[in-house]
Amino acid sequence: MSYLNFNKSELVNLEYSLSVEMLSTNRAGGYTSTTIVGCNTRKYHGWMVCPIEEFGGEKHVLLSSLDETIVQHEQAFNLAIHKYPNIYEPRGHKYIIDFEFEPTPTLTYRVGGVVLKKELIVVHNEEQILLRYTLLDAHSPTLLRLKPMLAYRNIHKLSKANLYANTQFKPVANGIASKLYTGYPTLNMQTSKENEFVAIPDWYFNVEYIEEKKRGYEYMEDLFSPGYFEMPIKKGESIVFSASLKEAAQPSLLNRKFNNEMKVRPPKDSFLNCLKNTASQFVMKKGKITEIVSGYHWYGCRSRDTFLSLPGLLHDDMKTYKSALDSMSALLKNGLFPDDTESMIYNAVDTPLWYFWAIQKYLHFSGDADTVRKSYWKKMKNILDAYRNGVNDGITMHDNGLIWAEERGVPKTWMNAIVENIPVTPRYGYTVEVNALWYNAVRFALELAEQYGDSDFTGAWKNIPAIIEDSYMEIFWMPEKMHLADYVGTLGQNQRIRPNEIIATSLPYSPISDETKAQVLSAIEYDLLTPKGIRTLSPKNPVYKGIYEGSAKERDTAFHQGTVWVWLLAHYVEAKLKLEGESFISEAKRIICNFEEDMNSRGICTIPEMYNGDPPHEARGAVSQAWSVAAILYIAHLINYKTI
């Protein structure tokens, strides 16, 4: 019996089946994603989504969907499903009798006496998808029709019927090659068996994406179909459809390629194996560059997320870990990293300090101090000097040893939501986690300097940790609240309890005592801890937002005002293990188990970006988030967790 079980009796219930999404990536930026019944509910869904170098590497939906039709006795049964205004048409989901995700996404349809199985493979490190159709049962001659629906647009946009689309195609072996617009690559659509292609070029208007409608975005687009492939299929026969940016010279070998790819699919037969499989899907390799995709479907590579995710995603793969560190290191500029690799805006004050933490973990896992010296030591010193000398706008070290970060209208920490050009949580001044990370970075650098015999660095920095220690408690501690202030600005301490102070309890070098750590953790447990993560604000606070939904403005307003974040759990568990040791392991296991139910709901085999602050803490944000998955894998590593 498969580990991933789905409610087979509810597959025909769209309320259930449209809420469960699947994702498969090629580990190079491309992916396939849709719901378990094949109805796209997001503009980010598509059978073939890939980065286009001609457009700056941004992802584009080329093949939106592939409609299958079974024909017997001149009667056609369309197995596809699309949402149009006030109607789903066709309604092929009613023929689905089974869905499996192990070893690869597989749908089984029954139409009268016909039983057809459809399997998906996204070829690793190539821009190619393979769909294999196997006729398991039939009592009459059967035809299989395959109709591609093309979008050819950026994942953040929607396509509309127009006169500029190139609706022509050229024949290739067992298929056609199509390119709707200049600048795009050619999409080769071929089958392993000879077929008849029936050219019926047509636009399909007003396809709706219901999840985009919920999010307050435009949600209707027009898709183009050049026609359909038709071929006979016999009982027991398998036919493979390929969509690829490269023409298959011998399409008759597509079945063999499908089988070979199937052999190297990672297992998804347990909770941890599901998460490990998903962890690999965030790793994107492009030549010598390794990036971590922050989340699916709309996020790219963000430097903070990369550093926070690496220890969980890649603690057992030091080669890839280092490659990702190296790729991000190359982007360092004036002591800062870009917020993401698309915008290349250098704002965040905490990200370079998370870089130190990621290197600490690399050193812990690998023990390779020589590599750290050769690859990162100079950059680490440059970061510290930049902070100390204040070379970036609004970021500087004061005489008390603490880092002050303030640039009006620009949020500089991970709480960076903006509504109508105003930060929701501005946090100007001394921020609690930034200065804990700062202390950790300086202490770690001094540790390395001693190993490397860097006396110049030691002489310049040896007195700074003591100054930070003296200032940290004086600035942040609130004795009447028995926890740390979230930030301290020109108006004094911000006394709202937020989860950021947890970072001071988990770091290898902390500016607070174990007694203070215990008090901080107790306060967080009382107000913020939930089964799905840690709230960003207490429900007692008048500006608390317990539900993350509505328009973009409504969602951004709630983004860090109560939503629950999984990534913070890694730091909570690490802090508790340091203070309580083995006695906390059983609780850490319970924390991990709280996420097993997510393996076959919303996003299969993965953990979302966040959850509602209010019970029952429903999943919200991106369907699959790197630092969420990384947090649970890191906790599992901390406690040597093997199985449920």
Q: What would the pLDDT profile of 492-528 be if each residue is shown by its tens digit?
A: 999 999 999 999 999 999 999 999 999 999 999 999 9
439 within 8 A of 472, measured Cβ to Cβ: yes
Predicted model pTM: 0.96
Percentages helix, strand, coil for the chain (3-state, rounded to 5) are 35, 30, 35
Domain ranges of the chain: 8-263, 271-638
DSSP structure string for 530-592: ETTEEESS-TTSTT------SSHHHHHHHTTTT-EESHHHHHHHHHHHHHHGGGGHHHHHHHH
Q: Taking residues 198-216, report their average pLDDT.
A: 97
pLDDT digits (tens, 9 = 90+) for 540-574: 999 999 999 999 999 999 999 999 999 999 999 99
Q: What is the CA radius of gyration of the chain?
A: 26
Structure confidence by residue, pLDDT tens digits, 87-104: 999 999 999 999 999 999
Is 355 within 8 Å of 302 (Cβ atoms)? no
Task: Please state, rounded to an integer, the average pLDDT across all residues of the chain.
Answer: 96
Q: Which CA distances in Å does 590 have to 95, 155, 576, 585, 632?
A: 39, 38, 14, 9, 11
pLDDT at 1: 54
Going from the C-alpha of 233 to that of each of 113, 267, 335, 376, 503, the distances in angstroms are 14, 30, 62, 58, 60
Give the C-alpha separation, 449 to 459, whole Å: 10
Among the listed residues 329, 286, 487, the one whose alpha carbon sits nearest the alpha carbon of residue 406: 487
Contact 162, 189 (CB under 8 A): no
User: What fold, for 271-638?
Assistant: Glycosyltransferase (1.50.10)
Alpha helices in 330-402 (DSSP H): 351-366, 369-375, 377-389
Residue 412 DSSP label: -
For 99-152, the pLDDT digits (tens) are 999 999 999 999 999 999 999 999 999 999 999 999 999 999 999 999 999 999
Q: Mean pLDDT over residues 569-585, rounded?
A: 97
What's the confidence (pLDDT) of residue 112? 93
Assigned token pair, 438? 């700062």
Encoded tokens for 401? 């040893």
Whole-angstrom Cα distance, residue 642 to residue 294?
26
What pLDDT score does 241 carry? Answer: 98
Do you find a cis peptide bond into 90, omega within 30 degrees of 0?
yes
What is the distance between the alpha carbons of residues 353 and 436, in angstroms, rounded to a whole number? 9
Is residue 642 over pLDDT 70? no
Q: What is the mean pLDDT of residues 279-290?
A: 94
* DSSP designation for 498: -
The amino acid occupying position 588 is: A
27: left (phi over 0), alpha (psi -120 to 50) or beta: left
Other CB atoms within 10 A of residue 139 CB: 10
* Distance from C-alpha of 361 to C-alpha of 508, rounded to nearest angstrom: 10
Residue range 223-250: average pLDDT?
Answer: 98
Sign (positive or negative) of CA dihedral 108, 28, 619, 312? positive
Give the DSSP H/E element, type plus range, for residue 627: helix 626-638
Using the CB atoms, write b or e for 460-483: b if 16+ within 10 Å.
ebeebbebbbebbeebbbeeeeeb
Helix, coil or strand: residue 416: coil
What's the topology of domain 8-263? Beta-galactosidase; Chain A, domain 5 (2.70.98)
Half-sphere exposure of 521 (CA within 13 A, CB side): 23
